[in-house]
Structure 1
Amino acid sequence: MMQKFMYPLVMSVLLFGADDKKWDVTAEFGPTETITFTTSEGTWMSCDVSPDGKHIVFDLLGDIYVIPITGGKANTLTSGPAWDVQPTFSNDGKSIAFASDRSGGDNIWIMNRNGSEPRQVTNEKFRLLNNPVFTADDQYIIARKHFVDTRSLGAGEMWIYHVSGEGSGMNVTDRRDWQHDAGEPDLSPNGKMLYYSQDVSPGNTFQYNRNPHDGIYAIHSLDLESGEKKTVTGGVGGAVTPQISPDAKRLAFVRRVGTKTVLFVRELATGEERPLFDRLNRDSQEAWSVFGPHPGYGWTPDGKAIVITAEGKLWRVQALDGKVSEIPFTVKVTQKLTEAIRFKTPIGGSMFDVKTVRGAHVSPDGKRVVFEALGRLYTANKDGKQRKLLTSGGSGFEAHPTWSPDGKEIVFTTWSDPTGGGISIISAKGGKSRQLPLPKGHYFNPSWSPDGTKIAYRKGTGNFIRGPSHSVEPGIYVVNAKGGSTRLITEEGRQATFSQDGERLLLHSREGDKNALIGVKLSGGDRRVIATSKFGSRFSIAPNGDWIAFTERFHVYVAPMPKTGKILDLSTKMTALPLVKMTKDSGFEAHWSADSKTLHWTMGPELFSRKLSDSFTFTEEATVEIPKAPESGVNLGWSEKSAIPQGTAAFIGGRIITMNGDEVIDNGTVVITNNRIRAVGPADAVTVPKNAKIVNVSGKTLLPGFIDVHTHV
């Protein structure tokens, strides 16, 4: 959902999550001001031409406007905080369809040509919609529907809906997979042929930084009578945003040519393609474009010209020779802006709070907890007191700690760049650890057998941080806890744990399109699927085998686990078994107590615990009224001294892009003392301290004070 409010989503949760009030896009959330200005240009504007050729409708900053075909002062059709975009005329010219989030999510709406009587056509809550187009009889609308699976990236399908708003719609096209997009539908004048853009790049997952010159998108056609699908155009530079001409003989589309985005026309009878206009806004074929790789546009009814936006303006492009003329417009814009919530964040202080605790695991007797923070292992009482370092260090980063069944030892993984990864065991009291005699590798999630004699672990592969070396023969292995030869059990799965009897390994894997908990014999083979879930993961069976926990959308759930010999399909909507959401806000790395009566998990620095008797009415020791999920846990965090470098350094001779407006210094000096920038300026204006370390950065560019909070390289 796109919002014109400059306001974090968290505030909407704070305001409306507690009492479950219906979300209202138009409501004011905090101090709000109204700003008004007049503009004659816009960014990423979609437009369409009325069937009578007299008007142009277009969107600007989430509102919809209309002007005469010759240009002029715009009349406002929609306004307010809702994000209204992609307007398109009905074939009779009486209505305008558009995409809007005014109902809480992006859906398709229809209004009269003058902007009156807006009415909702679709009512999607999750699979949201955009890019509407009327069918030839104006009785239906085809729009792009967005589907996501395990990634936030998704794929589009074309769906058809009745304009009355009745019914839930039906799909017209099927998505290629979950991560290759499709969208931007357009219909032939007789309503028999559907055109749309389709990501045809190789593979089955979305890739960043793809090369549009190799061809990312193509335009497909679908015969709505025979169901025959064809590729109309594509290839070098791709092809997106199709618009069929009124006589159905030509197809306009957008293609990348070199560094430019160009409007093309294709003669459908001959296949001849001609560039018309090479000053378009840069298309977004490489990116993930839920609303389409380029803004929409339209033909004039006589088929002689195309009206399209570029360089912030509206243009009339002659279809015959590509001659271009500007269609001038002015818009009086009125926008409501809500004051953003801002928190002062201390940076570079002498102390900081440790807020990230990972791999927390409560001891078998329930009295102690081991966890990783700052790359080291710590133990503490379960109430968070008497925290101490577990190891003497020296092995690099430490992670994935797990108690032995008797609580006397802890196994964990290590990693350092010089020596690689390993698995070590240490007394629960601390002291010197002993490393298992394993070859250099990438090791994860060691776990103990119930009798404490064996350790299962995953040997993985490297990545761009740890490097690719020592990645041969990955899989799930078992080794004697006292050392000895290792044994490959299976190449499948991760997060291996032993079954209650110690005869099998339980692994996280995949079964079809679902996450799965599977089991295999220690001798290998006899693969059995125990549980599956479409969206759930991190399955954990209680030691007594009677309960199963899983995580879905950052919450932890528990259900009883009957023995049926069949696969247990888990979800938050399951009704076959009792199900309890154990967490209030969210939870991570859930694990069971040794007696199977309590589930533990963490969130940030806090350790949470909840008994089954406080969760299910039918358990032993359960009270008549079940308590709510715990709101807070035991804080395992603390304040740590910051690692602050000491000394002064001067970077001289470089080009400096300062944070002072658009100031650029060609020959500048930056002086840093400890962890603070002390001086920035021209070389002849900054005095370099005598004790400073000099770093010559001639030919380099510095950006002192610039913080890039998110980037892809």
Structure 2
Amino acid sequence: MLLLLALHGAHAAEPEAPEWDVAAPHGPGRDVSFTVDQGTWLGVDVSPDGGFVLFDLLGDIYEVPLIGGQAKRLTSGEAWDTDAHYSKDGTHMAFTSDRGGSENLWTMNTDGAEPAALTEETVDRWTDPVWAPEPGWLLARKRKVDTRSIGIQELWMLNAAGGTGVQITNLDTDPHAGEAAFSPDGRYIWYSTRNGRFEYDQNVHQGLWQIVRFDRQLGERTVVTSLSEGAVRPTPSPDGKTLAFISRDRAQTILMLMDVASGRLRRVADFLDKDAMEAFELRGAYPRIDWTPDGKELVLWAGGKLWRLDAATLNRAEIPFRALVEHRVTDSVHPARRVAYGDVHARVIRWPSRAPDGTVVAAAVGRLWAIPASGAARPLTPEGQTAYFPSLTADGKTLTYSTWSDLNGGQVWSGAWGAAKQITKLSGDYQSPVLSPDGQTIAVLKGTGGSAVGSDLGAEAAYDLMLVPASGGDGERLRSVPFRGSNSRAPRLQWTADGKRIFWIEDEYPTPRAHEKTVLKSCDRLGHDVRTHLRFDGAQEVRLSPDGRSVAYKHDHQAWLASMPELGNTTIEAESLPSRKLTDIVGDWLDFSGGDVTWSQGDRFYSLPVAGTVVKPAKDAKEPIALPNAVERPLTVEVPRFEGKGTIAFTNAHILTMDEAGEIDRGTVIVRGRQILAVGANILPPPDAKVIDLHGKTLLPGLIDVHAHLHYASGDVFPEQEWRHLVNLAYGVTTAFDPSASTDLVFGQAELIESGRMAGPRTLSTGFILYGADDTQGAKITSYEDAEKHIRRLMRYGAWGVKSYQQPWRSQRQWLVEAARKLNMLDVPEGGGDLFMNVGMVIDGHSSIEHAIPVAPVYADIKTLWSKSKTTYVPTLLVAYGGVSGEVASYQREKVWQDERLRRFTPPEVLMGRAYRLPLVITDEQEMHHDDVAKDAAELQRLGVTVALGAHGQLNGLGPHWELEDLGGPGAMSPMGALTAATIAGARHLGLDQDIGSIREGKVADLFIVDGDPLVDLKFARNVTYVMKDGVLYDAVTMDRLSPDPAPRKAMIWEIAHKQMDSAQPVQRK
């Protein structure tokens, strides 16, 4: 039972709202002006006298006579104003606006004068205000975010005079309460609610949404509908006898009327646009509808227009309007970049450990290196060995590390630099080996066998903490240590100075829907006497000083140093320790060496004497960092780039250049090294060229997937050949941009690809997202300076851009855009299924909108505005927001588990688990929402908007082709338009169109060759016979390398495991 008594703070105290005008110009741009007579997702409110209708369009509030006419704009500027609602006396209105930096509730006179903030929330977001019958009170929706950025919604009552507010609904019963309305007598609150928190591809036809009536006198909550097709947007009539609401009839959204006394239902309209019951429902499941004061007509939006619907006769009449739109559109951020040339400069340099002579030992590009203070780094491990987790003894003489081989597994090695010997005999996934102070024993973590059965290296459920004799042997298991996930680093083991105990960290989750706590634990040499010493409010790394008097830890991406008392059996809350913040960009790979605390930032190494470094109470953490005794030095590791050699001539090809040259029939492409030397119809191959006759085949620029989540599942140890990279390359993807990935993993593997140790597309990324939810690896941004620092942090590791992910304030998002502009980085925001936020991002100059606009179709207002910007649209049709994911249709059309190429490169557990038995089947083509999204994308492309392909990693390899074919689906793009989105448009978006995206002399030789002509049927693009990346040519069927240095491809972990299983004694079935 919900009672109208519980008071909670409606105005969070921190962080304080920043001084930033979201409506002011930020960056270069242009003023645009146009007039429209249609709009997208227009909520309405009828004036108390029945003469006018309020609606919001492109972030401004308009008023139009009920009979139609020229709409009067009541608000203007770049602040986003919406949800306007007349007061009962018609003298003023409440509305939602982000003009203060974040979405809050405001009031103003009905002529638009005297706007005043009603709430000043700086954490949560307020929307959808409605006036209560009692004077001065409003009901509104508060959107809260926890560990999941989609968030949840609560209903609150607020008084215009102030106060903390009264909570009406709770998160457990109604996690998505909204679309609230009062009964005319004020006793009841009607609202819609979802059955639990949002999940993707839920069945909307199983009563996903229903309407609740809350009795304010009795505190009773009653679900008043039980429709299988759902019920949303409850709107009681002026006499309270009838309730209008939105429902479904199969794929069609409909308007229903319910007699409140009897419960009888009547269907009154089926001309509505699609509702948002399958979406995140951040702006209501349908735009606000309203009754005229006499209760005879309903006013609503549908088909881009406003309508009056007679509730008795069901006759409808348009309310025609013309609205002047004026906005300043900021130039989108698309810096021109170049594909990297020359040696590969490593930025992912892990586990740096400083020896007494100043040399730093670290892992990079698959090997261990000795990096002197000046001069060139030298490798400590052989070329054919892939090594990780270097650990030095205090005297620097002994190096201990682990290795990994996809074929043979991993081992532990230890010994003098460059002369280490294998210690273990039993292969496994060994991590974090460290030699005891007496040199007799190695403590190490060993995976519990996920990779042995063909799973990814990140599939370990836990590690076994082992002790292995330094003289050699398999060792003994002490206890289990939890796996922290692919986005978190493995615990780094430490010994006490006397060698009697071993430390590690693990994560705990004591509070539901809240981020983890990180604890430092230890056990004795038998695995017993487990103690919890320190508890952190989320820490990515923790290292104790050798004397146990200091602890270094990484929190919120920064390095901290704290003073420590003797640990004993007491659990200390780290926040209680006097601490000193050491960094304001990033602090990685913390350690202690020779009295110094050390850390790194990509290819930079820092050290600071512990003695003399003053620690302060944690409340002083925001003071400027001033560390005059800190020493900075480079960590320079460079290896040769792997690229094409010699000359190859592709002749007799049907060439789709994807630039001004258009199609070339029976053409020739000459490639020398990694560059295209010549393209044309009458070109003779040079005498030294290897000639490949492509009669009957089409040559195209390599596919560019600009939203290519590779869904990596590897911890700190990488496979020698990542299957996701291989299958994407086999299907013609030569450049992949991953806008959300583990930072160490994605950039570390990208360097392996560029150096030739792994085959795959050119891999660019943002690294880990700038997450706006409650996450210890998220991005807390309270100023422009914070935004710039977060971008600089990711630049240290080679980020191509950043992904602004559901940062709740518009000011935060604007700071990121302007910081990205300054630093020549892309800003590719998560679209988040929020229509209004998406359009605001277009106005503010974000590089792209990632994911589908959740409403389809969109109308002339949005299309015209977007056409006047340079923001790229990446609709990711396979996961199109607002309806059933596009991949559902693809899985239904094809038995992909029988596809030979996919089976050759994809683990059967992945393929069969997703494709063999489908979790969702759609029987009505009208429910294929992604088809409507594709039509909008095609129209935007025709209007000049850059639309680029992004397959979201839903099925690596084939997925980009599904996305390509859906872009060119019925009523959508032409085959050439779809191929444009998959090639040159993606290159332009990434700023790389000088080097890739088309077949042109001087560009990098990224291309693929298919049997047939994709202009006839886009499915021919799947028939890849050859693929070339950076001039390196592969047989796309087998992925054997053909040039340079022909070689068979490496076997993948899952292949090796399955061959071993297949060679074992078969299971005897009864």
TMscore range, shorter length: 0.7 to 0.9
Identify if the C-alpha distance between structure 1 residues 705 and 388 changes in structure 2 by more than 3 Å, giving closer, same or farther. Answer: same
Instruction: Tell me whether 1:558 sits opposite 2:553 in the alignment.
Output: no
Instruction: Tell me whether 1:187 sits opposite 2:182 in the alignment.
Output: yes
Out of 73, 77, 82, which is 1:80 matched to? 77
For residues 251-650 of structure 1, the aligned pairs below 5 Å read: 251-255=243-247, 258-319=250-311, 323-347=315-339, 349-351=340-342, 354=345, 356-363=347-354, 365=356, 367-381=358-372, 383=373, 385-396=375-386, 398-419=387-408, 421-427=409-415, 429-431=417-419, 434=422, 436-441=424-429, 443-452=430-439, 453-457=441-445, 459=447, 467=455, 474-480=462-468, 481=470, 482-490=472-480, 492=482, 494=484, 495=491, 497-498=493-494, 500=496, 502-513=500-511, 514-522=516-524, 523-524=526-527, 526-563=529-566, 567-570=571-574, 576-589=576-589, 591-595=590-594, 597-613=595-611, 615-616=613-614, 628-629=626-627, 633-637=632-636, 640-645=639-644, 647=648
Would you say the 8 A contact 2:603–2:635 is kept in 1?
Answer: yes
Would you say the 8 A contact 1:261–1:281 is kept in 2?
Answer: yes
Identify if the C-alpha distance between structure 1 residues 21 and 222 changes in structure 2 by more than 3 Å, giving closer, same or farther. Answer: closer
TM-score, length-normalised on structure 1? Answer: 0.79
Offset of 1:292 from its aligned partner? 4.0
Instruction: Tell me whether 1:158 sits opposite 2:163 in the alignment.
Output: no
Residue deviations 1:479-508, cap 9 Å, x none? 314332341512546415235254243322
Instruction: Tell me whether 1:68 sits opposite 2:65 in the alignment.
Output: yes
What amino acid maps onto 1:583 in structure 2?
Answer: T
Residue deviations 1:432-452, cap 9 Å, x none? 6626334445x5444454545
Offset of 1:274 from its aligned partner? 5.0
Q: What is the aligned partner in structure 1 of residue 118 from structure 2?
A: 121
Offset of 1:593 from its aligned partner? 0.7
Offset of 1:175 from its aligned partner? 1.8
Gaps of 5+ in 2: 1-16, 485-490, 618-622, 708-736, 740-949, 955-1070
Identify if the C-alpha distance between structure 1 residues 455 and 28 changes in structure 2 by more than 3 Å, giving closer, same or farther. Answer: same
What amino acid maps onto 2:358 in structure 1?
Answer: K
Structure-1 separation of matches of 2:653 and 2:309: 52
Structure-1 separation of matches of 2:58 and 2:363: 47
Would you say the 8 A contact 1:659–1:705 is kept in 2?
Answer: no
Greater mean deviation of Cα atoms: 301-310 or 92-101: 301-310
| Higher relative strand content | 1
The alignment's C-alpha RMSD in Å is: 4.3
Offset of 1:517 from its aligned partner? 0.3
Structure-1 separation of matches of 2:24 and 2:333: 16
Identify if the C-alpha distance between structure 1 residues 618 and 84 changes in structure 2 by more than 3 Å, giving closer, same or farther. Answer: closer
Would you say the 8 A contact 1:47–1:309 is kept in 2?
Answer: yes
Offset of 1:174 from its aligned partner? 2.3
What amino acid maps onto 1:128 in structure 2?
Answer: R
Structure-2 separation of matches of 1:532 and 1:499: 19
Would you say the 8 A contact 2:243–2:259 is kept in 1?
Answer: yes
Out of 140, 143, 150, which is 2:140 matched to? 143
Residue deviations 1:573-600, cap 9 Å, x none? xxx54332211223334x12145x4333
Offset of 1:199 from its aligned partner? 4.0
Structure-2 separation of matches of 1:140 and 1:172: 13
Offset of 1:98 from its aligned partner? 1.8
Would you say the 8 A contact 2:411–2:428 is kept in 1?
Answer: no
Would you say the 8 A contact 1:201–1:217 is kept in 2?
Answer: no
Residue aligned with 2:614, SS: coil
Greater mean deviation of Cα atoms: 147-156 or 700-709: 700-709
Q: What is the aligned partner in structure 2 of residue 38 from structure 1?
A: 35
What amino acid maps onto 1:143 in structure 2?
Answer: A
Identify if the C-alpha distance between structure 1 residues 470 and 544 changes in structure 2 by more than 3 Å, giving closer, same or farther. Answer: closer
For residues 222-237 of structure 1, the aligned pairs below 5 Å read: 222-233=214-225, 236=228
Structure-1 separation of matches of 2:335 and 2:457: 43
Structure-1 separation of matches of 2:357 and 2:164: 52
What amino acid maps onto 1:71 in structure 2?
Answer: G
What amino acid maps onto 1:120 in structure 2?
Answer: A
Out of 172, 176, 198, which is 2:172 matched to? 176
Residue deviations 1:41-62, cap 9 Å, x none? 2223333222332222122221
Offset of 1:229 from its aligned partner? 3.1
Identify if the C-alpha distance between structure 1 residues 73 and 618 changes in structure 2 by more than 3 Å, giving closer, same or farther. Answer: closer
What amino acid maps onto 1:584 in structure 2?
Answer: D
Residue deviations 1:320-347, cap 9 Å, x none? 5755433221111111123344421102
Identify if the C-alpha distance between structure 1 residues 23 and 450 changes in structure 2 by more than 3 Å, giving closer, same or farther. Answer: farther
Residue deviations 1:406-453, cap 9 Å, x none? 43344445445444x524325462356626334445x54444545451
Identify if the C-alpha distance between structure 1 residues 307 and 496 changes in structure 2 by more than 3 Å, giving closer, same or farther. Answer: farther
Identify if the C-alpha distance between structure 1 residues 112 and 629 changes in structure 2 by more than 3 Å, giving closer, same or farther. Answer: farther
Identify if the C-alpha distance between structure 1 residues 487 and 35 changes in structure 2 by more than 3 Å, giving closer, same or farther. Answer: same
What amino acid maps onto 2:563 in structure 1?
Answer: P
Structure-2 separation of matches of 1:640 and 1:201: 52
Structure-2 separation of matches of 1:170 and 1:448: 59
What amino acid maps onto 1:552 in structure 2?
Answer: H
| Higher relative helix content | 2
Structure-2 separation of matches of 1:618 and 1:322: 72
Gaps of 5+ in 1: 1-19, 620-624
Identify if the C-alpha distance between structure 1 residues 214 and 21 changes in structure 2 by more than 3 Å, giving closer, same or farther. Answer: closer
What amino acid maps onto 1:581 in structure 2?
Answer: K
Identify if the C-alpha distance between structure 1 residues 618 and 509 changes in structure 2 by more than 3 Å, giving closer, same or farther. Answer: closer
Offset of 1:267 from its aligned partner? 4.5
Identify if the C-alpha distance between structure 1 residues 283 and 106 changes in structure 2 by more than 3 Å, giving closer, same or farther. Answer: same
Residue deviations 1:501-556, cap 9 Å, x none? 54243322114024130425344465544333445543443333333333333223
Offset of 1:314 from its aligned partner? 2.1
Structure-2 separation of matches of 1:293 and 1:520: 52
Offset of 1:117 from its aligned partner? 0.8
Residue aligned with 1:351, SS: coil
Would you say the 8 A contact 2:247–2:253 is kept in 1?
Answer: yes
Q: What is the aligned partner in structure 1 of residue 886 from structure 2?
A: none
Would you say the 8 A contact 2:520–2:542 is kept in 1?
Answer: no
Identify if the C-alpha distance between structure 1 residues 246 and 649 changes in structure 2 by more than 3 Å, giving closer, same or farther. Answer: farther
Q: What is the aligned partner in structure 2 of residue 4 from structure 1?
A: none
Offset of 1:223 from its aligned partner? 3.4
Structure-2 separation of matches of 1:266 and 1:355: 66
What amino acid maps onto 1:52 in structure 2?
Answer: D
Identify if the C-alpha distance between structure 1 residues 459 and 325 changes in structure 2 by more than 3 Å, giving closer, same or farther. Answer: farther
Would you say the 8 A contact 1:461–1:468 is kept in 2?
Answer: no
Identify if the C-alpha distance between structure 1 residues 217 and 21 changes in structure 2 by more than 3 Å, giving closer, same or farther. Answer: closer
Residue aligned with 2:26, SS: coil
Identify if the C-alpha distance between structure 1 residues 232 and 340 changes in structure 2 by more than 3 Å, giving closer, same or farther. Answer: same
Q: Equivalent pairs: percent with the same residue?
A: 30
